[in-house]
Structure formats: structure tokens, C-alpha cells
Chain A
């Protein structure tokens, strides 16, 4: 009986559906009509893509609406928009990476780029290298040193403070008013614009040591303001997910609280804490604005963060683009800027990858 029913009539469950080739057909229509439309306003690859996407979506969705009904059509529209959003994002972000790679490789591979400074390199040398086709002089050694030292000092200051604060919040502060105040203040600090942090450090040192105090250490203080909340937030999160049973087990063995924290809680959370700190470093290593206001503009190598101006990679990029050594021939400066950008991106990417590896490798071992 059922067999007759299935063959004899159309199933009540089948609704009209688009044929399998529908998306491809719509895409073809989109590409053709899109090409025509973009030719009308002046052909460009971007315009073609844009019109093709719009026409495709219109055709596909209205076709679906006619055959399958409104609900299906809305579902397909949402899918198209979501995928469209993805494509829209991929384009500029890959363009950024491509631009850095394309512009940076040449500067990066120039001999001496990584191990010389900008000391003595001015518009004269740049003009000469443009005119004679010689290699571009000047490098980023001083900026690398500056970035590493400034970031190192910021890390040395913020990690103990941030980590101890998160320990206070999780282990001691439970429900106290002070803890709530700290949490609120850390949240506020997270929202401080980076340039305001730079202004603060500049104002602080100007008040204490007189105006114009610009050294690497001032920049480190500025970065500390930005780094502490990140360290506190991530460490706090990691300490909170340490199961309470572990603490109680240690207490039950008669271990004191501080030793429990040092021997049980922190080792359990260490991978998360370490990766959080690495990500915080990655975040501040690329900060430009605070260093711009605090470390001055150096062209020489300086190993001392406590005196004299210091360069850094981000400010190096900024100055090379905005104030090229030779305004008439900005080419060499631009090339150096992209080279520095490539190095900076490599730093950031390596730090991010290290953070992930740390999180994975040192994660608490499970049973297996």
C-alpha cells in the first residue's frame, strides 16, 4: 500500500526546491550582467566583482523566493550576505599583508638594513642612491634595539604587578570592596586610548624631571599603563579556571596559602598565564602613539633607556613615511618604512605563534 502511495502521488514533504545548478546559473548570470554593468561605468576588476556579487544575490534570492517561498529566500539571502561579508573582509586584510610583503622584502634584503642605524643618513644619501641607483643606506638596528629595550622594561614592570594583582583578585579579594574597585579600574584602564597613556607618561616625567624629559624609560612607563590591564585580565581568567579542588587538596595536606598559590595554583595555570603575557607583549610592541610622545626621535643607537632619545620600529615607520629623509625623493624612506613594517609584523606574528605554542605545549597534562 505504501509503495503505491509513494509512486502514485507526490510526497507531502517535498516542497518546490531550486535545482542543484541554481547557484552556478545565478553566478554565471551575475558575472555576465556584472561585466556589462561595470563596463557601463568604466570597467575595473573591483567594479566587476561588486556588480557580479549584487546581481548574483538578486537573481539567486528572487529565484528562490519565486520557487521555494519567502523563508527559504531569506535563508539564502542571509547566507549570501554572510559569505559576502567574509569576502569583503578577506580582500583588504590580504591587501595589507600583501602590501607589507611586497614593499618590505626589498628593504629587508638590502645589506646592512638590519644592522645599521640611521645615524648620518640624510636626504643627501637618499638623493644619491636614487640618482645613481646605488643601494639604499640606513637601517633599523637602532629601532630594533629601542623596541626590544622599551618593551622589555614595560614587561619587567607590568608582569609582576599584573600577576600579583590577579592573584589578589582571585585568591584574596573574593567579594571585597577593594577587589571590586580594582576590577572596575582595570576595566577603565583597558579603555585608555594609547595616546593618552603616552600623554600621561610624558606629563608624569615632565612634572617630576622637568619638561622635555624624553627617554626610552618614559615610553616603557606609557606602555606599562597599556600592558597591566591586559596582563591582569588574562591572568585572572586563567587563575579562575584552576579547580578549587586542587587548592583544597593542598590545604588538606597542611600547605600554607602562599605556598599553595606558588606550588599548585600558578603551575596549573602557567601555560595560560604565559601565553596571555606573550599576547600582551605582542600588543604593546606595535604601539606607536605613546612612544612618539615619550621617547623622542632618535637616529642613533642607544642602549640606555634612562637617558637620551630612543627609536622604535613603529615610530621609525611613522617618521619615515611622514617625514622622508629626502622630501624630493621619498622612495628610499618608503622602502625603509616597509622593511621596518615587515620586521615589526614578523615580531608580532612570532609572538602570537609562541603564545599559542606555549598554551599548547605547557598545558596541564591530561590523563593520557
Chain B
């Protein structure tokens, strides 16, 4: 035994002089090298390939940024009188940004409470069997392509909402966002927002449900043992535990709503920026690009790409904001 131990270093040296001479032979790495000398090249190739793939992703993202900037640049440097029928780029993009933000904000305003409610229903209210089925269903719904939501919005939801809009403009028409006359087709920003909400609800719900289910049983039982009702238990343990997760789920939904193209392009009958949500008008960046891209060329193409760049930076900012919010809540997060 002592002899073999003594001999091993020399074997290693003989076979692979350059590698790890100074290390003690007992280290597992060295033993590994000893037992199969061939294959060292395999190790190098494999780790190289893995590294290359990783670097490729960095390159790809940089390429996304570079090509977008390069192709967008003409829209910023060209005489502004040639951009967007003489409007100039910023006056052109501003209403689109506002429309995008309004549509996404309304969608989240609707979707967030409902999603949290549904996630709670699945995780803490529904009987277990039903909850399992519902979990599957929600995941499947999250996978439905957006163009189908858009098609549903234009053919079913928009006409169905017309009476509601008429009523809103009669009853609450003095509020600018409900000012009449309402659209006769229902193809308005509010309809688009509702479609967006329906789209993002499964996404937010599915993330929230998973996090709610991870709440430690110990903490839930502690709350119940103190004499908490189910709702008090949820407020004391589930919601605080899940708060960072809820925020990132909502941000995920926000990213999806901001960048969503098809639902808006199909549902909204676009127009200039107006305050009323129940008249046709307004437009979002993504839908604007989709509708105009097929016919665009030259400078108008550059303008659309510049609009895409703005959208990209916007979603990026949302992402970073979400991270910052989550990192601020670390200390009391229950992760430890």
C-alpha cells in the first residue's frame, strides 16, 4: 500500500510532465488525471465548446444592440423633417410610448389582483385534486399564442364590449378617459388592454402559484396556531414570503404586455393619442412596427427600427427596476 502510494507520483510525471507536478498525489483531481490519461484533449474541447457557446450569447446580445443601433441611427441623424411625414422622430415616438405604457399599465392593473387571487385560490383554497388540474390548465393557457388572443379580441371581445362602452360614456362620460362617443366596433385601447390582461393573467398566476406553494408549512402552521383565520394566515405568512416573487411575476407580465404586438395590432383601431380609452385611437410601439414594417423601406424602415430600439431600452429599464426592487427586500425575505 505504502509502496503504490510512493510510486504514483512518478507515474504521473512520466505520463504528463507538464500537468500539476507540484500537487500532492492524494488530491482527487490528480487521481483523476492518472487513471485515464487519454481524454485530456476531450476535456479541453468540451470545456472550450461550452465556453464558446456562452461567449456566443454575449456576442449575440451585443449584436442585437449594435445592429439595432446601426440601423436606427439614420432616424436620429437625418433631417427631422424627413422622418415620419415630417413630424421628426421624437414627436413621432412620444405618443406611441405613452400608448404602450397606458395599455400595459391598465392590463397589469386588471391582471395583478386577479392573478394573485387565482393563484391563492389554487394554492390555498381549492381542494387538492381540483388545484392540480387547475395548475395544468393555467400552464396550458399561458402557452396559447398571442395571435389567438388577438383573434379572440377582435372577433368576440370587442363587439361584446360595445354596450358596456356606451353605458360608460353615458354614465361616466365627464371623466376624460371615458369620454364619448364610444367606438362602434369596440376596437379601442381599453379592449386591447383587456386582451393583454387576459394574456398575462396565466403567466403571472402560474409564477405566483408556484411561489405561494413554496411558503414553508411551518410558518403557516405557526400563524394558524396563534389563532389566525385563513386570510390572516395568508397575510402574515404567504404574502410576505412571496412578495419578491410577486414583484418579479408582475414585472414578467409587464415585460410581456409592453412588448406584445399581435393582440394590440389586431384589436386596436389605431389613431393619434387621445385621452379617451373607449374611442378608437392611440397606438403602441410594437403594433406600430408590425403594421407598418411590411411596406416600410429606406428612412421609414430606420424609423421603425429606432422605435424598436426605444421599446427594447424601455423593457430593459423595467427589468433593471424589478431587480433593484427585489434586491431591496432581501433582508426580510425568508430566503435565509
Contact = CB atoms under 8 A, between A and B. Distances in A.
Interface of A: 41-42, 44, 71-72, 74-75, 77-79, 81-86, 88-89, 92-93, 95-96, 99-100, 103, 160-165, 167-169, 171-173, 178-179, 181-182, 185-189, 191-197, 199-200, 202-204, 206-207, 211-212, 225, 228, 232, 248, 251-259, 261-262, 279, 282-283, 285-289, 292-293, 297, 314, 317-318, 321-322, 334, 337-338, 341, 344-345, 348-349, 351-352, 356
B297 interface: yes
Interface stretch (B67-75, B85-93, B177-185): B67-75
A172 B55 CA distance: 13
A171 B50 contact: yes
Contacts of A285: 145
Contacts of A83: 121, 125
A199 B305 contact: yes
A208 to B, nearest CB: 9
Interface of B: 28, 31-32, 34-36, 39-40, 42-43, 45-47, 49-58, 60-61, 63-64, 67-68, 70-71, 113-118, 120-121, 125, 136, 139-141, 143-152, 154-157, 163, 167, 198, 201-202, 205, 229-232, 234, 255, 258-262, 265-266, 286, 289-290, 293-294, 297, 301, 304-305, 308-309, 311-312, 315-316, 318-319
Given A93-B202, A165-B53, A254-B32, A345 B144 contact: yes
The 4 closest A-B pairs by CB, nearest first: A193-B259, A286-B145, A85-B117, A254-B35
Contacts of A279: 143
Contact of A95 (B43, B156, B231, B304): B156
Contacts of A171: 50
Contacts, number: 283
Contact of A93 (B116, B198, B293): B198
Q: Is the interface of A mostly helix, strand, loop or mixed?
A: helix
A143 to B, nearest CB: 12
A348 B143 contact: yes
B232 to A, nearest CB: 7
A75 B64 contact: no
A293 B293 contact: yes
Given A93-B202, A189-B57, A199 B304 contact: yes
A260 B293 CA distance: 49
A313 B114 CA distance: 31
Contacts of A100: 148, 151-152
Q: Is the interface of B mostly helix, strand, loop or mixed?
A: helix
Contacts of B229: 71-72, 74-75
9 contacts: A71-B232, A84-B117, A194-B261, A196-B315, A200-B67, A254-B35, A292-B290, A293-B290, A314-B262
Contact of B32 (A72, A196, A251): A251
Given A81-B117, A348-B144, A261 B151 contact: no
B148 A344 contact: yes
A322 B68 CA distance: 28
Contacts of B146: 286, 288
A258 B71 contact: no
Given A99-B152, A211-B301, A341-B148, A164 B50 contact: yes
A344 B315 contact: no
A88 B148 contact: no
A185 B58 CA distance: 7
A203 B71 contact: yes
Contacts of A191: 255, 315-316, 318-319
B58 A195 contact: no
Contacts of A341: 147-148, 151
A262 B46 CA distance: 10
A219 to B, nearest CB: 13
Given A203-B305, A286-B145, A286-B147, A334 B155 contact: yes
B195 to A, nearest CB: 9
A314 B145 contact: yes
Contact of B312 (A44, A79, A192, A286): A192
A215 B329 CA distance: 47
Contact of A188 (B61, B113, B167, B297): B61
B140 A352 contact: yes
Contacts of A187: 319
A161 B61 CA distance: 14
